[in-house]
């Protein structure tokens, strides 16, 4: 019984060990033999997750989400929306009406009546001695020869000089530069030179430096009610053109045109002063847009849009784009209000009755489009109180000073368009604030506006209309740049990942002999382990079978002692 008990104890201890050894031999040997093929080793390496990353895998880069967010954010903000500050309509309305008006206006200003403009380009600056005359060829203005001027625009009137009834010894006096109703100095139609505006487009001239800076500094610091720091603090700093914009700057610009005015102190400024400042800022911004939109590439000699110029001067200051839209709304309202007067106005274009009728029909079509846009700007809200009525005279004086400052511009072409557009905005203000609706009757008041004022009004309106088109064009260029930079960023990630993957593959290929040698050592070890274990396994199985026979336990068929 003792031997039998010992045998059972041995069986109890050796059986689990035997099964465990068989399991180890079964698990290790076949898998090791499978890995022993060099081709299989290479295949397994390629499938181990270290292959070249595809484009979809670049999202693992920590900066990729930020790039995608910025891109989708600006695509979402592709067009301004919301109510225009201090106006009665929104950006969508302006974009929609401008899409209808722009083609009509663009063709109208090409007619003889609207393309010939007379002004005095050679007035001396009344405020300082201007020695910064621009000598660039682009600054010059091509004036019209007298033989090219239509006869209807020629005048034999003596002009501003009149002889006193007291006799020739008295010095002649000058004609008044403006009346009480005027918001700017009106160009004398009997003095100056004729200019074909189509031959002298507003564009980049290279005029810059202290002379140009002094003009705008005088306007903002001395003729803007001292509110610049409240409505646009950036005007306090010098605005310079930069040749390149960093990615961080790109991510912070043109994001929201309809921003909240809570960011500045505009609520602390009265409505009339805010309107004045928006008119000046919008005019300045519109001029800058035209300069950037027709910018001379001095390397190629091509005139083309300069996105960096636009971003630096306008795009990084959303309030300036707001003010461009605001000016458009004010001019649109003025033309709408003036439409009854224009329907009875005689447009003498100098090309015969048919040409006059054509111009009048074009103007009527344009004014009808303007009238169809209701509620753009409510001029009745201005100068309504006793206190604001006193402000009206100060408003006029500041604006008249700005029109005089334009004579201090050292670039002739810049002076031309500066004087014309100040006159255009001044004419709009005159229509809105100096005449009631019933007074705008050409039959009873045929001489409310001079031809020069009407030409300036419509050409200025065209300038702002083109500015809005240019803003959309620059926005498209901006998104194309962001898209290209995003693609470059993605390509950089892919290239880096590909280089890393190729380097890893090279290292793995150089290490394959070492890996194969190691696998062969493992196989040899397992084979030698088998040679050691199998004899013990045979002995153990023989012992188990014999014990089963000794205990008279039936054995399955086919099992016998291994000799």
- Which residues have a catalytic role annotated? 411, 414
Residue 143 pairs with which residues in a beta bridge?
A: 195
Q: How many CB atoms lie within 10 A of CB 449?
A: 22
Give the span between the Cα atoms of 403 and 421, in whole angstroms.
9
By the 8 A CB rule, do 277 and 227 touch?
Answer: yes
Give the span between the Cα atoms of 512 and 523, in whole angstroms.
16
Q: How many CB atoms lie within 10 A of CB 202?
A: 23
Q: How far does the chain reach from its first CA to its final CA, in angstroms?
A: 27
Any idea how long the chain is? Answer: 563
User: Which run of H or E residues covers position 195?
Assistant: strand 193-196
DSSP per-residue codes, 343-363: HT-----SS-HHHHHHHHHHH
C-alpha distances (whole Å) from 14 to each of 17, 28, 540 are 5, 21, 8
Burial of 2 by CB count in 10 Å (0-12 exposed, 13-18 middle, 19+ buried)? exposed
Question: SS3 for 295?
Answer: strand
By the 8 A CB rule, do 133 and 412 touch?
Answer: no
Find how far residue 380's CA is from the centre of its chain: 34
Q: How many CB atoms lie within 10 A of CB 227?
A: 18
Q: How many CB atoms lie within 10 A of CB 336?
A: 20
User: Which run of H or E residues covers position 411?
Assistant: none
Tracing tokens 């967010």 back to the chain, one arrives at 69
Paired tokens of 468? 């809005």
Q: How many CB atoms lie within 10 A of CB 305?
A: 16
The full 3-state SS of 73-101, as one line of letters, equals HHHHCCCCCCECCCCCCEHHHHHHHHHHH
């Amino acid at each position: 019984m003792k031997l039998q008990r010992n045998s059972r104890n041995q069986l109890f201890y050796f059986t689990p060990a035997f099964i465990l050894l068989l399991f180890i031999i079964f698990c290790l040997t076949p898998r090791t033999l499978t890995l022993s093929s060099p081709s299989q080793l290479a295949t397994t390496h390629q499938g181990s997750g270290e292959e070249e990353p595809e484009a979809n895998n670049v999202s693992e880069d920590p900066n990729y989400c930020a790039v995608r967010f910025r891109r989708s954010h600006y695509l979402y903000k592709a067009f301004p929306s919301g109510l225009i500050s201090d106006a009665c309509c929104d950006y969508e309305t302006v974009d929609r009406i401008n899409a209808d008006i722009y083609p009509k206006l663009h063709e109208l200003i090409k007619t003889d009546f609207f393309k010939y403009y007379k002004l005095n380009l050679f007035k001396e600056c009344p405020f300082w001695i201007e020695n910064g005359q621009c000598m660039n060829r682009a600054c010059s203005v091509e004036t019209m020869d007298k033989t090219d001027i239509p006869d209807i625009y020629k005048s034999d009137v003596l002009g501003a000089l009149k002889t006193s009834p007291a006799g020739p010894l008295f010095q002649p006096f000058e004609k008044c530069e403006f009346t009480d109703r005027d918001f700017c100095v009106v160009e004398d139609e009997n003095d100056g030179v004729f200019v074909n505006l189509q031959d002298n487009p507003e564009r980049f001239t290279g005029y810059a430096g202290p002379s140009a800076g002094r003009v705008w500094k005088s306007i903002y610091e001395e003729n803007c009610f001292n509110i610049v720091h409240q409505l646009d603090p950036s005007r306090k700093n010098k605005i310079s053109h930069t040749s390149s914009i960093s990615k961080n700057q790109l991510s912070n610009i043109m994001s929201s045109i309809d921003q909240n005015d809570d960011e500045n102190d505009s609520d602390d400024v009265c409505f009339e002063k805010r309107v004045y400042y928006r008119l000046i800022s919008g005019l300045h911004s519109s001029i800058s847009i035209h300069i950037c939109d027709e910018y001379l590439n001095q390397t190629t000699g091509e005139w083309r849009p300069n996105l960096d110029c636009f971003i630096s001067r306008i795009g990084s200051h959303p309030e300036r784009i707001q003010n461009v839209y605001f000016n458009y709304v004010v001019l649109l309202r003025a033309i709408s209000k003036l439409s009854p007067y224009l329907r009875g106005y005689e447009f003498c274009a100098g090309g015969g009755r048919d040409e006059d009728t054509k111009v009048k029909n074009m103007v009527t079509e344009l004014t009808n489009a303007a009238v169809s846009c209701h509620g753009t700007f409510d001029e009745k809200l201005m100068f309504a109180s006793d206190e604001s009525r006193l402000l009206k005279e100060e408003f006029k004086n500041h604006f008249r000073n700005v029109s005089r400052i334009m004579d201090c511009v050292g670039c002739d072409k810049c002076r031309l368009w500066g004087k014309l557009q100040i006159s255009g905005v001044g004419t709009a203000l005159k229509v809105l604030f100096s005449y009631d609706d019933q007074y705008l009757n050409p039959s009873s008041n045929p001489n409310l506006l001079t031809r020069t004022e009407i030409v300036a009004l419509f050409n200025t309106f065209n300038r702002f209309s083109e500015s809005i088109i240019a803003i959309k064009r620059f926005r498209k260029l901006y998104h194309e740049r962001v898209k290209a930079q995003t693609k470059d960023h993605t390509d950089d990630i892919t290239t880096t990942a590909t280089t890393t993957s190729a380097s890893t593959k090279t290292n793995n290929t150089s290490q394959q002999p070492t890996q194969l040698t190691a696998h062969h050592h493992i196989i040899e070890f397992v084979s030698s382990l088998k040679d050691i274990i199998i004899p013990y396994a045979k002995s153990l199985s023989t012992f188990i079978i014999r014990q089963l026979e000794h205990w008279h336990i039936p054995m399955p068929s086919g099992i016998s002692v291994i000799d």
